[in-house]
Amino acid sequence: MGMVAFYTAEMMVQEADNHGFQRGLSVRLIYDWASLGLLDYPAQPGHGRGHKSQWSEEQLQLFLVLLEKRKDTKRITALYNIPVWLWLYWGDRYASLNQVRRALGNWGKAVLRTWGRATTGVWDDAEKAARHFLDQLAYPQKKITGKRKLLRGLTELFYKGRVTQTDLVPIVQQILVASGKAATAGPAAYLFSAENVALQIAAGYEAIRHLDEISNGTFEWARRFININNRGYAREQPQLAKDSELGHLFARFDAEKSLNRACEDLAQAVGVTRLGLPEHIRDSLRDPNLWDTLQLNTEGELVKTRSGLIVPT
C-alpha cells in the first residue's frame, strides 16, 4: 500500500509556485481559506514545536484549482461553489461536510449582502436588493413591461422582510409574465410556475438565515436529493428543450452548470426542509428526518448507516 501524501502550508505554497501561480503567496492564505471553507482545516493539525499542520493530497489539488479559478473572477463568492460541488458529486474525501458548512455559510453572507439588504430596514438597500433579484429573474430580457412597478412591489417585500413563498408568488408571477417566462402548458409549466420559483427563493433565503440550525442529516439528504434531481433533469432535458415557449431556457446539464449552481442548489435543498414537506414521504428515504434518526450518509450511489450498513434504496 502506498504512502498517503500530506503537505504543510509551506509545501502547498511551493507547489503553487511550481505550477506557475503568483510568486510570493503567503502561507497565511492557506489558513484564511480554511477558515472560510474554501479549504478544509488540516487533516493532521500541528501540535508542539516542530510539528506543522498538514493537508491531504485532495486539499492540495483543491488549492491549485481555487488559484486557477481565482484568475477568472474578482469575486471570492464564486469560489465557494468549488468545495461544495466536490462534496456533492465526489464525496467526503475531497471536501468534508464541516468544510462545506463553512463555505455555504460564507457564500450565504455574501448573498445577503448582495440582495438580502432588506434586513437593514433601509428602503434604499431594499431597492438595491430588489433590483438585483429582478434582473436575475428577468434575464435575458433587457427590458420588461412595467418594470418600475414590479421593482417597487419587490422592494416593499424586501423592506418588510416578507421573503416567504406566499408573499413572493404574486410578484414573481408578474415578473415571469413580463419577461416572457410564464408557460401556460407543456412540460415547462411547473418548473417556471410562480409557486415553484417562489419556493426556491424562499427556501434559499431560509437556509441562509438559519444554516446553523440545519442538521448534518439534512445535508446528507440534500446531497442525495440533488443528485437524483440532476439525473432526472438530464433524462427530461431533451423533451423540455422542445417546449415551444421556453425550450431555449433548458440547456443540457453538464459539470460547469452544476458547479456554478452548487451553493445555490444546496441552500435551496436544505432550506426547503424548513418550509414543510408532504406527509406521504414520512419514514422513507425522501424524509430528511429519517436521515437524522438513522444517521445516514451517502457514498456514491450507496446510502449507508454510520456503522457502514448499506440501506436498500
Provide the CA 201 distance to its chain's centre, in angstroms.
12
Residues 54 and 144 in one domain: no
- For residues 272-293, give the mean pLDDT: 84
pLDDT, tens digit, for every residue of 65-105?
A: 999 999 988 789 999 999 999 999 999 999 999 999 999 99
**Three-state DSSP class for 14?**
helix
Residues 18 and 95 in one domain: yes
* Top-confidence residue, 250 or 11: 11
Residue 247 lies in a domain: no
Buried b (16+ CB within 10 A) or exposed e, 150-176: bbebbbbbbbeeebbbebbbebbbbbb
Q: Which residue among 156, 182, 208 closes a domain?
A: 182
CB 166 within 8 A of CB 199: no
- For residues 13-31, give the mean pLDDT: 90
Q: Is the pLDDT of residue 184 over 90?
A: no
CATH number at 82 reads 1.10.1660
In this structure, of 44-58, 66-80, 148-162, 295-309, the range with the lowest mean pLDDT score is 44-58
Residue 85 lies in a domain: yes
Q: Is the pLDDT of residue 151 over 80?
A: yes
Q: How confident is the model at residue 118 (pLDDT cuts 50, 70, 90)?
A: very low
Residue 305 lies in a domain: no
Q: Which residue among 74, 95, 112 closes a domain?
A: 112
Residues 49 and 130 in one domain: no
Q: Whole-model pTM? A: 0.87
Q: Which residue among 88, 112, 136 closes a domain?
A: 112
Residue 260 lies in a domain: no
Buried b (16+ CB within 10 A) or exposed e, 268-286: bbbbbbbeeeeeeeeeebb
Residues 140 and 178 in one domain: yes
Which cell numbers in the block locate residue 100?
462545506
Residues 14 and 81 in one domain: yes
pLDDT, tens digit, for every residue of 186-225?
A: 667 777 788 888 898 889 888 988 999 999 999 999 999 9
Q: Is the pLDDT of residue 54 over 80?
A: yes
Residues 94 and 178 in one domain: no
Give Cα separations from 246 to 13, 86, 180, 258 (angstroms). Answer: 47, 31, 8, 20
**Three-state DSSP class for 55?**
strand
- For residues 60-66, give the mean pLDDT: 97
The total number of structural domains in the chain stands at 2
- Note down the domain range covering 84: 6-112
Which cell numbers in the block locate residue 144?
420588461
